[in-house]
Amino acid sequence: CFQISCQGATSITTFAVFLCDKIAPALRQAVYERTALAIARDVKGKIPDFSGNRSSLEVCILRYLAQEENFENFKEYLNYPADFLRSYIKTRIETYCLGKNRRLEKFLDDSLMHCYESIQSAVFKSTNIVKDRKDRNDKISLWLDEFCSALGEVLSLPRTELKGIEHQEITDIEFLNNAMTEALTPLKDHLKEEFASADMNSFETQPHTILAEQFAGCWQQCPFCGAVCTNIMQGHDGDHQLVFHRPQVLTGYKWHKTDNLVIDICSSSVASDCLFRIGEDTWIPYKRYRDAGSPYSNWNIPPDPSMQAYWKWFVYHFRTELEEHYNGKFHGKGEIPALWQITKQEALDELEK
């Protein structure tokens, strides 16, 4: 009799250990997935940059760029606005999670505790349902059905992966409860140990990717000045448009057959008698810019002479770098007006409005 119960206990323990080995990778994945979402949610609530919409985040990015005063960063932002937004979010999240507070570890521990308690409660629930079923001999198969379905919300443990252990002759279902609790503990401890030195590379889906999706939208850039369409829908109906266009020097425009960089903005050019060139020798009046076909024809650029102080400050402040980068000069038709000599603070103050 003793031998039988001993065998019973051993097979239950073996079963529990086998099952926990199957749970381990699924638990790890569930913890990281849950943590990525938790971090994105937390950051959106706690870091002011991310609490609004894309245009308010844009203001934060412009403020950051002005504070850094690094021309290379500006170039990155002007050429690849979507990538820059992603890397800005990524940097902010890394600082938030890996700074001296090591928030990442706490996020992971919280998610681990949540998932671990859910597994324990699934064990308990399945045991309660199955233990008194006198009508079934395949109690363990039934227990596994219940267990996998109770876990479904928290982590994905495919029932098919457990075919190998469903025919175990285990009758003492209540003893299984204790065996599972014992086998789960080292699993939890092992993960806690890993989390102590975790970094952002451990995530399959990065928190910054989740957050960046919330600031998605149209990323089409004005073919004249490179400013980004402000529509919040990707592939939206109707024309691309935006509130403030920028000096066309930001995309390297020069006056024909000169080295004079163009400081005009497209929204004032469309009210002028100027022409622009596409291809080798096709000239089109700005007033009829839509005749140039795509991408010009997909934009709505109403005449408007107003330009943000920010870009006047930028052009004046980085005039040397811009001349070098675009191999042109701010003279002749590209002379920078004296009124553009504004302070960074003035530029930022206007931005905040």
Question: What residues are paired with 299 via a beta bridge?
Answer: 240
Q: Which position has the token pair 């003279």?
A: 331
Note the pLDDT of residue 135.
66
Note the pLDDT of residue 205.
95
Name which residue leads in pLDDT, 174 or 350: 350
Note the pLDDT of residue 297.
96
Closest CA to 228 of 212, 216, 240: 240
pLDDT at 167 over 70: no
Note the pLDDT of residue 1.
36
How large is the C-alpha radius of gyration of the chain? Answer: 31
pLDDT-derived band at 147 (thresholds 50, 70, 90) equals very high
Note the pLDDT of residue 8.
52
- Asked if residues 216 and 234 have their Cβ atoms less than 8 Å apart, the reply is yes
- Asked if residues 248 and 264 have their Cβ atoms less than 8 Å apart, the reply is yes
Note the pLDDT of residue 9.
55
Name which residue leads in pLDDT, 331 or 134: 331
Name which residue leads in pLDDT, 203 or 161: 203
User: In this prediction, what percent of the chain has a pLDDT beyond 70?
Assistant: 95
pLDDT at 322 over 80: yes
Name which residue leads in pLDDT, 9 or 119: 119
Q: What is the DSSP letter of 1?
A: -
**DSSP 3-state of 215:** coil
Angle between helices 309-317 and 319-326 (to 10 degrees): 70
| pLDDT (tens digit per residue) in 253-308 | 999 999 999 999 999 999 999 999 998 889 999 999 999 999 999 999 999 999 99
- Asked if residues 299 and 222 have their Cβ atoms less than 8 Å apart, the reply is yes
pLDDT at 138 over 80: no
Name which residue leads in pLDDT, 329 or 99: 329
* DSSP string covering 236-248: -SS-B--S---BG
- Asked if residues 217 and 54 have their Cβ atoms less than 8 Å apart, the reply is yes
CA 157/CA 153 separation, integer angstroms? 10
**Count of residues making up the chain:** 353
User: In this prediction, what percent of the chain has a pLDDT beyond 90?
Assistant: 79
The mean pLDDT value of the chain amounts to 92
Closest CA to 294 of 231, 220, 227: 220
CA 205/CA 220 separation, integer angstroms? 25
Closest CA to 248 of 223, 280, 272, 228: 223
pTM exceeds cut of 0.75: yes
pLDDT at 101 over 90: no
Q: Residue 36 carries which side chain, given as an amino acid letter?
A: A
* Start-to-end C-alpha separation, the chain: 84
pLDDT-derived band at 187 (thresholds 50, 70, 90) equals very high
pLDDT at 60 over 90: yes
Q: Determine the average pLDDT of the residues in 336-345.
A: 96
Residue 51: both structure tokens together: 């609490």
